[in-house]
Amino acid sequence: MSESAGFSTRAIHAGQEPDPTTGAVIAPIYATSTYAQDGVGGLRNGYEYSRSANPTRTALEQCLASLEGGSRGFAFASGLAAEDTLLRAITSPGSHLVIPNDAYGGTFRLFARVHQRWGVEATPVALTDLEAVAAAVRPGETVAVWVETPTNPLLAVADIAAIAEIAHAAGAVVIVDNTFASPYLQQPLALGADVVVHSTTKYCGGHSDVVGGALVVNDAELAEQLVFHQNAIGGVAGPFDSWLVLRGLKTLSLRMERHSDNAEQVAAFLDQHPQVSQAIYPGLTSHPGHELAARQMRRFGGMVSFRVAAGEQAALDLCARTKVFVLAESLGGVESLIEHPGRMTHASVAGTELEVPSDLVRLSVGIEDVEDLIADLDSAIG
């Protein structure tokens, strides 16, 4: 697949030539752990054992690399497995990282309760404050600046190119968790990032039917370190899961357009609602990161958060009353979801500096008819 092909063309074809044996148009699910060798060491196309490589996973890894504009992609069993593998590849005891002070709760927990025990230190910083980022970076000691944009659940927008400049000047790499935007809306490698992280569970998979993760890089040396650690640690995506994500990616551009259309209208509805004290969406001109997001992203995506004027109990009641929006964790699927971050996805950061407001509600706006979504919220808010 030519690198000059458009995004949707690559989403449908990259890494996926028709099967040479049968002509199958869709990449088969290679449910095999091992591969026959033509004499000792005589591997067919390099396949030896499915922890090291599996053709269905290879197709997904090539497709993801193409969509992020990278040279190499890696697929994992979950977003956190991808993050853990990356961290173990680039850190050792004494390493320091700068992380967002409103990182995804699971990412924060991985730093605070797993990697910190191995002597890796992480400093949480508001990434919207570039001076604070520059002050937190320790030249020669900081191995990476971890960026999430837009963040979960407060949808803060960080300037990837400006952070890359600061980090690179100090000899640190820049990692961007691109889960919320997806490669269709945001291209971190082109903005100067070194590694892209995905929970493919979310928009890449897009149908709430698989848990998966990915890394994409451009640098050959970094790629070799990840090849080694992916195989040495073994948290790989299986062939069935890889196939589901590949299938999801084919419609990513269509879905992200519709998610953005619907979220824009839902955000506008919430923004004028008297029971809503604050609507949070990068597409609203009132959002402090609006202009940056307009420059850095193709559109503003499907995630909307809002604060309920009457407080926590009213927010909890609202979450229990919607009928189209399903009360559930996760995000990025075709169906709309609603959740209370303080009690659900972000319960693990309660009592830390990452604690979220108790009157906050987060929506993953799906691709249903937007009139139904707005009517549902309208009756639930009361």
Ligand X SMILES: *Cc1c(COP(=O)(O)O)cnc(C)c1O
Which residues are identified as catalytic? Answer: 51, 104, 177, 202
Q: Which H/E stretch holds residue 198?
A: strand 195-199
Q: If 0-12 CB within 10 Å is exposed, 13-18 middle and 19+ buried, where does residue 282 land?
A: buried
d(CA 56, CA 176): 25
Residues 283-322 that bind ligand X (CB under 6 A): none
Q: Which residues contact 140 (CB under 8 A, 6 or more apart)?
A: 170, 171
d(CA 202, CA 191): 22
| Tokens matching residue 233 | 């640690």
Choices 32-40, 102-110, 334-342, 359-367; region in contact with ligand X by CB under 6 A: 102-110
Q: Which of 107, 187, 242, 336 binds ligand X (CB under 6 A)?
A: 107
Task: Quote the least distance from Cβ 107 to ligand X, whole Å.
Answer: 5
Choices 17-25, 176-184, 232-240, 262-270; region in contact with ligand X by CB under 6 A: 176-184
202: contact with ligand X by CB under 6 A = yes
Task: Quote the least distance from Cβ 346 to ligand X, whole Å.
Answer: 11
Q: Of the two residues 175 and 380, which places its CB atom closer to ligand X in the complex?
A: 175
| Residue listed under structure tokens 């640190």 | 172
Q: Of the two residues 59 and 210, which places its CB atom closer to ligand X in the complex?
A: 210
84: contact with ligand X by CB under 6 A = no
Task: Quote the least distance from Cβ 301 to ligand X, whole Å.
Answer: 12
Instruction: Count residues near ligand X (CB under 6 A).
Output: 16
Q: Which H/E stretch holds residue 174?
A: strand 173-177
Helix (H, G, I), strand (E, B) or coil at 76: strand
177 — phi, psi (to 5°)?
-80, 105
Choices 123-131, 195-203, 285-293, 352-360; region in contact with ligand X by CB under 6 A: 195-203
Contact 151/100 with Cβ under 8 angstroms? yes
175: contact with ligand X by CB under 6 A = no
Contact 122/112 with Cβ under 8 angstroms? yes
253: contact with ligand X by CB under 6 A = no
Return the closest-CA partner of residue 281 out of 362, 183, 373.
362
101: contact with ligand X by CB under 6 A = no
| Tokens matching residue 85 | 């593998």
Task: Quote the least distance from Cβ 185 to ligand X, whole Å.
Answer: 14
How many other C-beta atoms are found inside a 10 Å radius of the C-beta of residue 221? 8
Choices 43-51, 73-81, 133-141, 367-375; region in contact with ligand X by CB under 6 A: 73-81
Task: Quote the least distance from Cβ 332 to ligand X, whole Å.
Answer: 8
Helix (H, G, I), strand (E, B) or coil at 122: strand
Q: Which of 16, 66, 78, 242 binds ligand X (CB under 6 A)?
A: 78
184: contact with ligand X by CB under 6 A = no
Task: Quote the least distance from Cβ 149 to ligand X, whole Å.
Answer: 10
User: Beta partners for 147?
Assistant: 176
Residues that bind ligand X (CB under 6 A): 78-80, 104, 106-107, 148, 152, 177, 179-180, 199, 201-202, 211, 213
